[in-house]
Every structure is written in C-alpha cells, then in structure tokens.
Structure 1
Amino acid sequence: MTEPVPLLSRREARRRDRRKAILEVASRSFLENGYAATTMSGIAATLGGSKGTLWRYFPSKEALFAACLDDATTAYREGLAEILDPRGDLAQTLRRLGLKLLEKVTAPDSVALYRLVISEAGRFPEMGAIFYEHVPRNTRLLITRFLERAMESGLLRRGDPDTAARTYMMLMLSGCHQLLLLGQITRATPHQIEADVTFGLDCFLRAYAPDAPG
C-alpha cells in the first residue's frame, strides 16, 4: 500500500514559495544583467526583503547561481534518465536522446545562459566551474553510464565510455547549436535539429560500431 504523502506545514510551504521566488528573480537577473552585475543586494531589493533574509537561503552568489542551474535542469535530467532505458533499441534511444538534448540547448534561455558563461567565465572562473559541474558534466555522466552498459552488452565497441559520451555530445552540438551561439541564426528549426541528430548519430554509430568477430 502506498504511503500517503505528508502535507507541508504552513512554515515549510512559505519557505518553499520564498525560495522559488528568489530563484525566479535571480535567474532572470543572471540572464538579463549578467553574472557580474547581479548582486545579492539587488536581488533582495527586487524581492522587497532584506539581504539578511536572502543570505539565510543562499550563503553566497555562487550558491545562488548553482541553485538556479539545478532548478532549471532537474526536470530535464530526469527526462534524460527516462529516455536512457538500457532495454530499448540502442539507435532509437540515442536518437531520442539527441533530439531532447538539442531541443533543450537551442531554447532561448539556454542559448542566453551559454553566452553568459562564455562571456564572463574568463573573469569569473568560479561561475564557469559551477556551470560546467551542474550542466554539461551532469548530462555527460548520464550518457557515460548508458554507453558503458551498451559497451558491456556488446552493442558498441569497447572504449572509454566518458570519451564516447563527449564524442556523442560534441557531434550533436556541432551544427545549429554552434550557429545559434555565434549569432549566425536566430532560432533552430525542427528540421535543423532533426538533421543534426541524424548526421551526428550516423557518425557516432560508425565510430563505435562493435568490432567484427575474429
């Protein structure tokens, strides 16, 4: 019998809602104003509270930035985990994964975030490190574990699964995503995304095709 989910107390509900409001304001500020121009004082002023209250939720701007990334990517990573079913057809699974990946990274907010990191990571390496750990690295780890199982099952040529995951991701991101980041196109069409995934997957499966017997 399924255990009933306990209801949040009023205090817990208020704290959850307050945290959500902080993340919404902070995320908007990071994307619109940049990392350097976003301050804890400015966020507190926008929220209409004291900086001390904000610090009770997040002890630093770095912690707040990390929380914004987690909030924006948790549901996405959960969706990827559902796609990466080792019992499914390998090529179809990798195709669905590629479509999901490109749809996410070519969304306007994702493009704005990538541009923010690229423009400011040189001056704020801690921001670049936080982004790397919470976004591309977390995605790559999910793919790495999936590809490792595929190699163990003989569906892919044996090799370093982390290198294979990086290869897969770079093939997927080498087309319309790169053009978006460089301002060569204003949006990625479903046709472009489909074409990038088809091309990238073909290259990947040829590179990691199982070795012939003997």
Structure 2
Amino acid sequence: MHANPGQIRKGRKFEQVLEGARDVFLRDGFEGANVDAIARAAGVSKATLYSYFPDKRLLFIEVFRLECDRQTMAALDEIDFADPPAVVLRRAAEHMVASFLSEFNQAVFRVCVAESDRFPELGAAFYRSGPLRLHDELVAYLARIDGQGAMAIPDPHLAADQFIELCKADLYLRHLLRVTDTFTPDEIARVIDGAVATFTARYAA
C-alpha cells in the first residue's frame, strides 16, 4: 500500500474501512497488518481500500486519530471536573499513563518517528491528534482552576507539559524501548502518585 500521502478520499464505505483497519492494527500492529487482512475485516475489496487510503501510513494515522477521540471522550466522561484538583489530576493521570503504555499508541509513535524524514506530515498528524489535543485539554482545565483560585498556575501551557512529563516518569521510556513489557499496579500507582503530589506541591494556591 503506497502512494502520495495526504490524499484521502471519503465515501460510502469510509467508516467501514476504518473500523476494519482498527481491528487489524490493534491485533497485528502496523508492520503485521496487511492489505488483504484489512480488506477482509472491513468487508471491502482491496480496490476500494486503495481508493480511500493509497498509503497504509495514512490509514494508520486516521485510525489513531479516531482512537484518540475515543480515549479522550472516555476520559472526559469519567472525570468530574467539579472534584478537587488533586482528584481530577489523579483521574487524568490514570488515563494518561494507560494511554502512554498502550501498545497501539506506542506503535503509532514508532511509525511516525521512523517515517518522519520521508513523510513529515505523519508526525504532524500524530502530534495534532494525540499530544497537542492532550496538552490543550489540560491547559483549559489548569487555566480554569487558576482563575478560580484552587491552584496558582501562572503559565498553564508550561504546567500542562510538566504534568504530562511527570506521568511518563520511569515507565514510558522503558516500555517504548521494550526494556519492560508489563508493569505491576504498584509500579503504575507509584508514578501516578508521584506526578500528582509533585504537581500539586509546585502549584499549590
């Protein structure tokens, strides 16, 4: 599957193709997924698949964008933003750490880095769909609680980046580099507890 990236044509079976591709990518990863398997899962011909997505990278990024939407909506639905900041931040950290350690999300990151020289638009698409959206959601929340006086956060943009990085401590890089495949609940809780404690101490009102 290859051609000029950036050319996505939508049509009647577009969503059908994305659903089938999502199942295959989640099961087989980027490298393991092939056109035949994706077409079968989507219930379309290879010609139809190619007509919508001339490049597998484009399909992968579009599936990732929808997965980001799904994860974001799930997180927003589960978090009560009227709770005290420490409670909200803990719930946000739980979702972030789970997302950071997701095999699918990390596979997307690896593909974008590997292809960044030839197809820089893939990296830009990944950044907009994942990291930037997460950053913007956090900025909006942190600016709101600063305005309410619940915390003192003069630079919500910097603070959002700091909290995201705190949630990556220890586990993220080890998992990304395949040094460690799985982590215990205690290991994950240690990172989440540390992130929330450090952040709330730094920005206490």
Scaled by the length of structure 1, the TM-score of the pair is: 0.75
Moved more, 177-186 or 196-205: 177-186
Matched to 2:138, the amino acid is I
**Residue type matched to 1:43 in 2?**
V
Structure 1 gaps of 5+ residues are 1-11
Shift of 1:64: 2.4
Distance in 2, Cα, partners of 1:96 & 1:70: 22
Structure number with larger C-alpha Rg: 1
Report the counterpart of residue 138 of structure 1 in structure 2: 133
Percent identity of paired positions between Structure 1 and Structure 2:
24
Taking the TM superposition and a 5 Å limit, the aligned residue runs for 1:170-181 are 170-181=165-176
8 A Cα contact 1:86 1:149, kept in partner: no
Number of residue equivalences: 191
Q: CA RMSD in A?
A: 2.8
Task: Give the residue type in structure 2 aligned to 1:158.
Answer: I
1:33 aligns with 2:31: yes
SS at 1:173's partner residue?
coil
Does the CA-based 8 Å contact 2:14-2:52 persist in structure 1? no
Contact persistence 2:101–2:172 (CA under 8 A) = yes
Greater mean deviation of Cα atoms: 140-149 or 121-130: 121-130
Distance in 1 (CA, whole Å) between partners of 2:99 and 2:144 is 25
Structure 2 stretches lacking a partner, 5+ long: 1-11
Query: Aligned residue for 1:127?
Result: 122
| Residue of structure 1 in register with 2:159 after alignment | 164
- 2: CA distance, partners of 1:190 / 1:26: 26
Q: Offset at 1:136?
A: 1.1
Q: Is this contact kept in 1: 2:65–2:129, CA < 8 A?
A: yes
Question: Deviation at 1:188?
Answer: 2.0
Q: Deviations over 1:54-110 (max 9, x none)?
A: 254346656423321123222210022224433111101101111111122213323
Aligned-pair CA distance for 1:26: 5.9
Q: Where does residue 43 of structure 1 map in the other structure?
A: 35
Task: Indicate if the aligned counterparts of 2:60 and 2:108 stay in contact, CA closer than 8 A.
Answer: no
Structure 2 length-normalised TM: 0.78
Q: Is the 8 A contact 1:26 1:43 kept in 2?
A: no
